Amino acid sequence: MRKNTGFLVLIGLLSAGAQAMDSRPCADPRVFPGPAVNAIVMPYRVDGRVDKPPSAGPDLRLASRQIAALVHLEVLTSMLKYGAVGATDLLAEADGICDVDSVVARLTQPGAPGALRAGQALVMVWGRLFEQGDQLYVQSYVRFFRQGERGPVPEVLNVAAGEGAASLKLQGSWPTQALAFAPRRISRDELARVDKEFRQAMVLRERPAAAAPGRMMAFQPGRNFPYSIKARLGDWLELVPMQGGQGGWVKARTGGGDAEAWSLQNWLPELAFVDAVNGMMRLRVGNLSEAEAAPMRLAVEQGLAQYERAVPVEQAPTAWGVGAVMRAQIAWTAGQRSDAALRYASANELLPAYAGARNLAAVTALAGAKLNAASVARLQRQLLAALALAPTDKIVLANLAQLYQLYEKEPGWSPLDPAELREQAALVKAAQSR
Amino acid sequence: MQMKWMNACLSLSGYLLLAGPAASAMVDCQPAQGAGRFSVFLSEPAGAALTPAQLKPFLQRLQFELDRNRDGRWINAPSTDVTFVACPGRTPSLDGQDFDETLVDGLHTRGVLLEVWGSLDAEPGAAAGAPPQLRAQMNYLLVPMQFAANLREADPAPLQRLRYPEAGAAHAASVQDPVQLIARPLDIDAFVAAAFGYKLLRSRSYELAHANLCRADSLLEAIALRPLTGRSKTELATLRAFVLASAGRAVREALADAAYPKTGVLRLQAGVKPCAGED
């Protein structure tokens, strides 16, 4: 049983797309139909504390709710610069589990009410919380994907190598589209100060100017608070309450590599990383002019750099690896194939346990290259190495199947005799069908 | 099995009674319950960096820090699903001599893959007024490997020792938090994957064993690229060689096993290096 808490809705339609904000019960997740990217913040689960029984008291539950609500506001205000975005805060009953897989299943069921439409992207953030003394230790997770016609689709890269009959059409997919961030510390006092200063910064002003008179927005976790966005002027958004009352202008976060003094990103730098993910997914959805895309690419880089300044690689190798993949993707999309291949190789070094990273590094190294016996032999070794890490990886198996077909056309390049080749190809086919 | 467990308990009691001032205290620790669940024990470090009152909170935080993939099922992490267990009051000696056959047998039987402990010290800062620099030597006992060594099956360097921070490491001087100093997800993943893979191999789960051992090999290779020296370097190299040999053994034994499927994916790995890749 989950508590059906109230709603907090901020909906708007701009020329760049839709911007919206909502708060919903975890049992009934929905996204906005218009935005290119929807972000969902799910509960931060209490993991207990050292000097008290595992069941969280009301103060810790409140801290958990406060963190999720602030993360929600932080994510939304940061991603406003990406244009067509929406953010939803999912609420679970105290001590209840908000099952991520259930939420994903609901939101990716084609045609279901409130589900993603093909082409939309979803970024999900959630976490867990641990208390020691007056310190809170917060650990966040992120998962992100685009919706296809029949469900979520992985981010896939198509790589052409060779020419004529001696060519390969290879694929690579991002090594992971979900990760666990390194835990971070924030004191209860700091959290309260962030909350207060956030509210003070989110002031509805009479005019789009910092000096204009204004009043604080009455954010309250779990309380109905609907707004629509009427207009935009530079970084300023004009908000109009949907339930009546006086609106005003609020300044959107524009990024710039450093979080404002009151930003939760100062304590939870993974939110800068999440902002980069939001920007990356916005870029992946596409339909952007170069003038729109260029600042988004910059924002992605700034978000990643901010995270990397705060959290060293040895504490967060996966996040650094995913960051390398995103940078490589940007280079790849820009047609900078050599640079992209180097970055994918770098990602592979940071993500040594991920088959996808090894596969990406192997196939992008061949992009546009003329094939020969040595290069395909190297590809075979790398694909088998990737398969050793993940024996059921469909993309690696498909690449291997392509390679064995090439061996049939170019037997001089094959290290296998014809009988072995037939046997290996059959094994790959069997693995693909499993 | 019951007799072995009783022996383990008796042995533990003996350790408690014999513990001296600088000696170990091998109090028991409860692993994760349930079939198919595996644990990593986090025992108290020696050294002067932490007061006795700080040890328990330190272990609890370390547990939270390392348990970051607790929700791994939701993020499809390739890491092995293990439970980190804080063991306050459990202080193995730095040289690992406490881990006799009976104790290791008990750990192995109860699904403990790894035990982590070590020493934490604070050295004076380089400059006047500079904060002290934390130094750690962390020990990782790969329980299935130690179990095999006790049976004289293999010599896999089951006790791994790493020092933090490593020479020239970025942020080395700035790490003032002992948990952040030693909580290295990549290191833990490598040792857990190696221990789990070898345990699976012994139970003839060839494909899972091979995948875990190859993952361990990749992770150990990444660790080996760091500026390790002396014993740490040689022990890691020995372990990696053992892991690779075990991956090869998984392929060979699968192919020799009449029950292994004719279309089993390990047949693709026959005739190549156990985990393929570059030379």
Q: Do B193 and A352 touch (CB under 8 A)?
A: no
Find residues 8-47 of chain B whose CB sits inside 8 Å of chain A: none
Q: Do A100 and B69 touch (CB under 8 A)?
A: no
Q: Do B74 and A143 touch (CB under 8 A)?
A: yes
Q: Is B211 on the interface with A (CB under 8 A)?
A: yes
Which tokens is A231 given?
A: 């207009």
ipTM of the complex as predicted: 0.87
B-chain CB neighbours of A143 within 8 Å are 74-75
Q: Is B268 on the interface with A (CB under 8 A)?
A: yes
User: Is pLDDT at B8 greater than 50 in this prediction?
Assistant: no
What is residue A16's predicted lDDT score, i.e. its pLDDT?
Answer: 35
Residue B175: closest CA among chain A residues belongs to which residue? A312
Range picked from A179-188, B118-127, B174-183 for highest mean pLDDT: A179-188
User: Is pLDDT at B18 greater than 50 in this prediction?
Assistant: no
A contact test, residue of B207, B263, B266, B278 with most A CBs within 10 A: B263
B-chain CB neighbours of A122 within 8 Å are none
In the structure, what pLDDT confidence band is assigned to residue A271 with cuts at 50, 70 and 90?
Answer: very high
User: How far is residue A396's CA from residue A387's CA, in Å, rounded to a whole number?
Assistant: 7
A contact test, residue of B59, B63, B71 with most A CBs within 10 A: B71
**Between A and B, how many residue pairs show a Cβ–Cβ distance under 8 A?**
142
| Better pLDDT: A12 or A85 | A85
Beta-carbon count within 10 A of A401 CB:
17
What is residue A411's predicted lDDT score, i.e. its pLDDT?
Answer: 95
Beta-carbon count within 10 A of B154 CB:
16
Q: Is B170 on the interface with A (CB under 8 A)?
A: yes
User: How far is residue A37's CA from residue A281's CA, in Å, rounded to a whole number?
Assistant: 7
Beta-carbon count within 10 A of A418 CB:
11
Q: Compute the nearest-CA separation of B163 from chain A (Å).
A: 14
User: Is pLDDT at A381 greater than 80 in this prediction?
Assistant: yes
Q: Compute the nearest-CA separation of B31 from chain A (Å).
A: 17
Q: Is the whole model's pTM more than 0.95, yes or no?
A: no
Mean pLDDT, rounded, of chain A:
85
What is residue A6's predicted lDDT score, i.e. its pLDDT?
Answer: 28
Distances (CA, A) of A260 to A83, A195, A218, B71: 20, 13, 20, 31
What is residue A282's predicted lDDT score, i.e. its pLDDT?
Answer: 96
Domain boundaries, given as residue ranges, for chain B: 2-20+38-269
- Report yes or no: B33 and B110 within 8 Å, Cβ to Cβ: no
Peptide bond just before B165 cis, omega within 30 deg: yes
What is residue B268's predicted lDDT score, i.e. its pLDDT?
Answer: 94
Q: Do B276 and A382 touch (CB under 8 A)?
A: yes
* Residues A20-58 pLDDT 10s: 666 677 888 888 888 899 999 888 888 754 445 445 566
